Amino acid sequence: MAVRILSIPTDFSIAGYNPYPTNAHKLHIAQLFEQWMETHEKIYSQPEDRTRGFENFLRNYEYVNGRNANGGHSVGMNNLADLSNEEFREKYLSKFQMAKERERRVGSGSERDYESCDAPPSLNWEKKGVVTAVKNQGQCGSCWSFSTTGAIEGINAITTGELISLSEQELVECVTTNWGCDGGYMDYAFEWVIQNGGINTESNYPYTAKDGICNITRANNKAVTIHGYQDVPPNDEALLCAVLKQPISVGIDAGARDFQLYKEGIYNGNCSSDPDEINHAVLLVGYGSENGTDYWILKNSWDTRWGNQGYIYIKRDLSLPYGKCAIHGLASLGYNFSNYNAEQQELVQLFEQWMKKHEKTYARPEDKARGFENFAKNFEYVHKWNANREKGGHVVGLNNLADLSIEEFREKYLRKIHMRKRREVIRDDQINMKKEDEYCSAPPFLDWRKQGVVTRVKDQGYVCGSCWAFASTGAMESINAIKTGKLISISEQELLDCMPPKWGCQGGRKEDGFEWVIKNGGINTESNYPYDGLNQTCNITEAKNKVVKIDGYKLVTPNDHALQCAVLKQPISIGINANTEDFSLYMEVSFGCHLGCASERRGNLSLKGRREIGVRLTSAQ
């Protein structure tokens, strides 16, 4: 039923609501309120609730008349018209600000996936039959669950051709990392669906608009699943390119009064464009343009009696870094491998082959999904690098680290203790190599591996930054083999567990490793004190088993000639900068070194000190 908008004299006021008023103005407003209650099937349990509802209705009625007189988008006496703006915010919006989640997502967006795209003038996924009917979250701050299900419903319909309405209540009750009716984050909901192996239908797990206990039986009924999710970078171009593929979960600020009472038109109202003030989640289903003004199409979860049949058109404002209502600030999507094109499907198959080759398994579905995302990006990087590399330059490839982003690689494989402080305290008078050792007659090539004094390549693992221990043991293994003729693999774990200061997997210094072995009188074998890649308590008994000993160690003068002369005598422990993508994905061809050098990244890799001028270099004596 349509509600007529009438003007009210400015001197009209009312202290309370009487269902049988005698004043003509009061009677008129009371009649409108009764019509509104009937239209929206509104029932109040207490008389004071009805009185407060009428007072809010009156104020909102006056606001609607004044706001619509100024032009722009229309507001009206919708299903939220009996709420003050404070009550509306309390009952419908999230109680948790999004700043924390936005900080968690920094660097997680996939910029290369959304750099540019060829977009048509308009798009509406609802018209394509992949968006379910508008739902109603009721007076429960569960918008995040409706945004999540909407995105999953959309990608599932695109992938399978079947539009299935999914259960918000399952997310409200079962996603323990969120807060049910008090708010939550879409990413956490995506993660739960992936970990659970799917989500039930709305009909099998119906919505109650209340917090409850997770129904495990129903949650085990998995009608629809996703393989992963992705955060969309916070800019207009990325959001446009993302919604071309599927409906997108987005966060916005919906706290303004003209948003609460929105009716139709392109919204350009009083919402905040600060992403730290995001308080509501909706579903982005498309975009369009009207009379030269571009807009986003958003599906809300406040029933069809709100807005334009449950939808709102928000101005697409390129002048704002995070867009109107901060719509760029918190966007994400779920995806299925099966909705990839033929080229992407081939990449999935390649990933499965890579997993088999490297015996890679993932504990959780979301870990595999993230691994595939990284693999896909690294595949693109490898192709570009090798196509553009200089003649004779090194080749990169999909090695055993290809499922890691560069940030994950640095976090898991590189030491967290920076070496600059230690390097600065090494003065020239502490470099105890003889000056004549800096100059020598070197053959064209040297590879100590072929001399039988370098042990097999080892694996420090991805949860322990113990490269320093492997560099230390490598140098000691080799000098022992040169002196005794016996190549013995010695224990990195002993250094991790026993050497002070105990940084262990957080990083360390090779010199400290040498000094501990000297002080201890030797070091045990790898077989007797095996590596597990974790910080443990020192095994005193095994540490007393001293199989290999050194008498001392030397610091190599930090220049190319000194390093070349040093490696003529034995393999050398060195420190390097291994921060780059082309290093993490290195496959073959040297960086220019013509001498075999044992390094902290020991393997089929040739490196020389010039890679980082002035780097600290050491050798066992």
The answer on 124 and 8 residing in a single domain is no
Q: Which of 227, 280, 328, 394 is catalytic?
A: 280
Q: Give the chain's domain count.
A: 4
Give me the half-sphere count of Cα atoms (radius 13 Å) on the Cβ side of residue 269.
28
Residue of 60, 235, 279, 300 marked catalytic: 300
Rounded Cα distance, 298 and 249, in Å: 10
Q: Both 501 and 382 in a single domain?
A: no
For residue 343, pLDDT over 70 is answered with: no
Q: Is the pLDDT of residue 144 over 60?
A: yes
Most confident of 86-95, 343-352, 581-590: 86-95
The pLDDT, as a whole number, for residue 432 is: 53
With the C-alpha atoms ordered 252, 256, 257, 262, is the resulting torsion angle positive or negative?
A: negative
pLDDT digits (tens, 9 = 90+) for 255-306: 999 999 999 999 999 999 999 999 999 999 999 999 999 999 999 999 999 9
Same-domain status, 322 and 199: yes
Structure confidence by residue, pLDDT tens digits, 490-536: 999 999 999 876 678 888 888 888 999 999 999 999 999 999 988 88
pLDDT attached to residue 237: 95
Q: What is the rounded distance in angstroms from the CA atom of residue 277 to the CA atom of residue 274?
A: 6
Please tell me the least confidently modeled range out of 111-120, 496-505, 546-555: 111-120
- Answer yes or no: do 210 and 270 share one domain: yes
Q: Of all residues in the chain, what percent carry a pLDDT higher than 90?
A: 61
Residues 185 and 308 grouped into a single domain: yes
Residues in the chain: 621
The pLDDT value recorded for residue 4 is: 35
Whether residues 516 and 378 fall in one domain: no
Cα 537 from chain centroid (whole Å): 34
Is the pLDDT reported for residue 600 higher than 60? no
* CA atoms 138, 142, 148, 153: torsion sign: negative
Q: Do residues 434 and 583 both lie within one domain?
A: yes
How many CB atoms lie under 10 A from the CB of residue 339? Answer: 17
Residue 67 in domain:
yes
Residue where one domain finishes, among candidates 286, 308, 333: 333
- Which CATH number belongs to the domain containing residue 389 in this structure? 1.10.287
Interacting residues of 225 by C-beta distance below 8 A, sequence separation 6+: 193, 194, 197, 198, 199, 336
Neighbouring C-beta atoms of residue 103, cutoff 10 Å: 9
Distance CA 172, CA 618 (A): 58
The structure's pTM equals 0.61
Nearest CA among 599, 605, 474, 467 for reference residue 533: 467
Find the domain containing 26 and state its range.
1-71
Q: Is 609 among the domain residues? A: yes
445 and 385 both lie in a single domain = no
Residues 213 and 356 in one domain: no
CA distance 11 to 16: 16
Q: pLDDT band at residue 593, thresholds of 50, 70 and 90?
A: very low
Instruction: Choose the weakest-confidence range: 86-95, 329-338, 530-539.
Output: 329-338
Shared domain check, 421 and 379: no
From 40, 79, 143, 235, the catalytic residue: 143
Of 463 and 99, the structure prediction assigns the larger pLDDT to: 463
Residue 107: Cβ within 10 Å count: 9
Q: Is residue 81 part of a domain?
A: no
Q: Is 123 helix (H, G, I), strand (E, B) or coil?
A: strand
- Identity (one letter) of the amino acid at 540? I
Instruction: Give yes or no: residues 423 and 298 share one domain.
Output: no
207-211: which pairs have CB atoms within 8 A and are 24 or more residues apart?
207/135, 207/167, 207/168, 207/169, 208/169, 209/137, 209/138, 209/139, 209/140, 209/142, 209/181, 210/140, 210/181, 211/140, 211/172, 211/173, 211/180, 211/181
Where residue 417 sits, what CATH number does that domain have?
3.90.70.10
Q: Is 143 a catalytic residue?
A: yes
Residue where a domain stops, chosen among 383, 403, 423? 403
Give the residue with greater pLDDT, 237 vs 618.
237
Is 300 known to be catalytic? yes
On whether both 443 and 381 belong to a single domain, the answer is: no
- Is 117 catalytic? The answer is no
Q: Round to whole Å and give the CA distance between 523 and 326.
A: 59
Report the first-to-last Cα separation within the chain, whole angstroms.
Answer: 93
